[in-house]
């Protein structure tokens, strides 16, 4: 049986999981039984789910609940916002990072939050991104200090470190070959390194992702991801128009791994939509991503290379989407959005009470490909 390129273009809502604070990033465990979230309260939030995915709700599918999601005690131990999460190649460990530069590794089995290993100052300042290579031999980290550090995932020892152009680094992606590492920076630079010795292999520029607005630098390559074959690198960000309360057009560049040529450039909305915060490749050969811009503006999209625009987007408004996680079986996704229109729900402030926002998690069943003989 083969799959055609024709898709049913509807997303089916399965559940909406409430949360207690704002979150920034989602990850499924390798077996799909855990959903993990990076909290802006310095904690790692956890839910236990059916490993086969959530069941399809009865009825019209328009009314969704929290579903069979068991809330687990969050893990503590970080100083600032939890900024990045990564699962080890064998699926046994979770590595987390925060805005104070802390890096910690915990076992996913059991409920102990005690780290297997940790570094209180893995980077000088904001640790922005993590990536594990396919062989599981190397964990990469980067941050605002402009450094890339490679760690032994087993014990947290440093394998090597190198500068990646001297800029604030935003994103990492390990190539499927387990050898190459893509690094994205504030000014739109994308560099490909060899993990074995830290040597620079290629340099590409996504200059439209950067703007100097008076004395403020805005933009950056916010996310990088390879397709399954490693032939295309997706670089996500924003085409900024100003500094301050940034306005810009969310954009994705799909880049050939062979010569760095831009295969396709996506512009996903107007200048109120802001940044593409994350983009992932789906094994059915399409890309998915999330956008967040001005208060209340956001979207989740699915896009196939070569088509003019996404073939599927969220059917109902989703405010300020920041992350998407693909379930290991490939049929469901978790999308992180905001509950309120405003970042801190200003419209609800009364008599000095200024409640913070929360980030509910929306679970969707993805459109299915139509099989043909």
Percent of the residues in the chain that have a pLDDT greater than 90, as a whole number:
75
pLDDT tens sequence across 13-38: 999 999 999 999 999 999 999 999 99
Does 369 have pLDDT greater than 80? no
Closest to 204 measured CA to CA, from 239, 234, 240, 238:
234
Mean pLDDT, residues 272-289: 95
Confidence tier at 296 by pLDDT (50, 70, 90): confident
Does 203 have pLDDT greater than 60? yes
pLDDT tens sequence across 313-343: 987 788 899 999 999 999 999 999 998 765 5
Q: Please answer whether residues 75 and 44 qualify as being in contact, where contact means their C-beta atoms are separated by less than 8 angstroms.
A: yes
Distance CA 132, CA 176 (A): 10
Lowest mean pLDDT segment, chosen from 2-11, 211-220, 358-367: 2-11
Residue ranges and CATH numbers for the domains of the chain are: 2-372 (2.130.10.10)
| pLDDT score, position 306 | 86
| pLDDT score, position 314 | 86
3-state secondary structure (DSSP) of residue 335: strand
Burial of 373 (0-12, 13-18, 19+ CB in 10 A): exposed
pLDDT tens sequence across 36-45: 999 999 999 9
| pLDDT score, position 77 | 96
3-state secondary structure (DSSP) of residue 336: strand
- For the CA atoms of 268, 271, 274, 276, the dihedral, rounded to the nearest 10 degrees, stands at 20
Does 345 have pLDDT greater than 60? no
| pLDDT score, position 254 | 97
Does 97 have pLDDT greater than 80? yes
Burial of 282 (0-12, 13-18, 19+ CB in 10 A): middle
Does 253 have pLDDT greater than 50? yes
Mean pLDDT, residues 274-300: 94
| pLDDT score, position 371 | 36
pLDDT tens sequence across 53-91: 888 765 555 555 656 789 999 999 999 999 999 999 999
| pLDDT score, position 14 | 92
Percent of the residues in the chain that have a pLDDT greater than 70, as a whole number:
89
Confidence tier at 245 by pLDDT (50, 70, 90): confident
Q: Please answer whether residues 360 and 54 qualify as being in contact, where contact means their C-beta atoms are separated by less than 8 angstroms.
A: no
Q: Answer yes or no: pTM beyond 0.95.
A: no
In terms of pLDDT, which residue wins out, 342 or 156? 156
């Amino acid at each position: 049986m083969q799959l055609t390129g024709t898709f049913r273009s509807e997303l089916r809502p399965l559940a909406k999981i409430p949360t207690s604070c704002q979150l920034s990033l989602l990850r499924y465990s390798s077996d799909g039984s855990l959903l993990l979230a990076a909290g802006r309260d310095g904690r790692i939030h956890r839910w236990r789910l059916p490993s086969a995915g959530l069941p399809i709700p009865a009825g019209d599918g328009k009314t969704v609940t929290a579903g069979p999601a068991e809330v687990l005690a969050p893990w503590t131990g970080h100083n600032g916002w939890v900024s990045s999460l990564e699962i080890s190649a064998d699926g046994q460990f979770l590595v987390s990072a925060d805005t104070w530069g802390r890096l910690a590794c915990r076992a996913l089995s059991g409920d102990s939050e005690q780290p297997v290993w940790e570094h209180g100052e893995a980077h000088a300042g904001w640790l922005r991104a993590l990536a594990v290579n396919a062989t599981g031999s190397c964990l990469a980290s980067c941050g605002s200090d402009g450094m890339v550090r490679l760690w032994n995932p087993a014990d947290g020892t440093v394998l090597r470190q190198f500068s990646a152009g001297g800029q604030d680094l935003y994103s990492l992606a390990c190539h499927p070959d387990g050898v190459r590492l893509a690094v994205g920076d504030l000014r739109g630079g994308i560099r490909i390194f060899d993990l074995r010795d830290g040597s620079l292999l290629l340099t590409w520029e996504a200059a439209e992702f950067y703007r100097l607005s008076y004395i403020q630098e805005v933009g950056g390559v916010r996310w990088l991801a390879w397709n399954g074959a490693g032939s295309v690198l997706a670089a996500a960000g924003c085409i900024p128009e100003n500094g301050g309360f940034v306005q810009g057009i969310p954009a994705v560049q799909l880049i050939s791994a062979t010569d760095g040529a831009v295969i396709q450039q996506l512009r996903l909305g107007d200048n109120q939509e802001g940044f593409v915060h994350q983009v992932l490749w789906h094994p059915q050969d399409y890309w998915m991503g999330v956008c967040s811009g001005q208060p209340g503006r956001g979207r989740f999209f699915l896009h196939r290379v070569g088509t003019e625009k996404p073939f599927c987007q969220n059917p109902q408004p989703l405010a300020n989407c920041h992350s998407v996680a693909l379930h290991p079986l490939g049929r469901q996704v978790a999308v992180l959005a905001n509950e309120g229109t405003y970042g801190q729900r200003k419209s609800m402030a009364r008599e000095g009470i200024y409640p913070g926002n929360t980030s509910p998690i929306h679970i969707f069943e993805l459109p299915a490909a139509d099989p043909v003989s």
